[in-house]
Amino acid sequence: MVNPKFLCQKHLCGEHVETHSFVGCINKGTSLKGYIDKGLVEVHNIKNRHDELAKEMLRRGYKHKSDLPEFNSWEEGCVNIEQNIEELMKRCSKCKERILSNDR
């Protein structure tokens, strides 16, 4: 749920793939409990998040040709955005640079 403009190419594209994986799991009946419990996904925001990521990909000139499949959503999960920003800055120098150069 970190603002997509803060994400380096690797993390932007990686999170986009994750949205598709989450929907695949939902459609197969696979639990997202671990992701939900760790605050990594908000099920009710998967579609919106995918669209935000795709919009940023297009803004940067990347190609996006993968619409998100239909899925049944429900209200579950809570992502702590500030905590995720801090963690991202520790793990990725490129994201840290993007975060620090943009006004939050």
Terminal Cα distance for the chain, rounded: 13
Segment (H or E) for 57:
helix 46-59
Average pLDDT, the chain: 96
Answer yes or no: are the C-beta atoms of 50 and 6 closer than 8 Å: no
The predicted pLDDT at position 99 comes to 96
Q: Is the pLDDT of residue 104 over 60?
A: no
Q: What are the residue ranges spanned by the domains of the chain? A: 4-101
SS3 58: helix
Q: Which two tokens stand for residue 97?
A: 């640079």
Threshold 0.85, pTM exceeds: yes
Residue 102, pLDDT above cutoff 60: yes
pLDDT mean over 77-93: 96
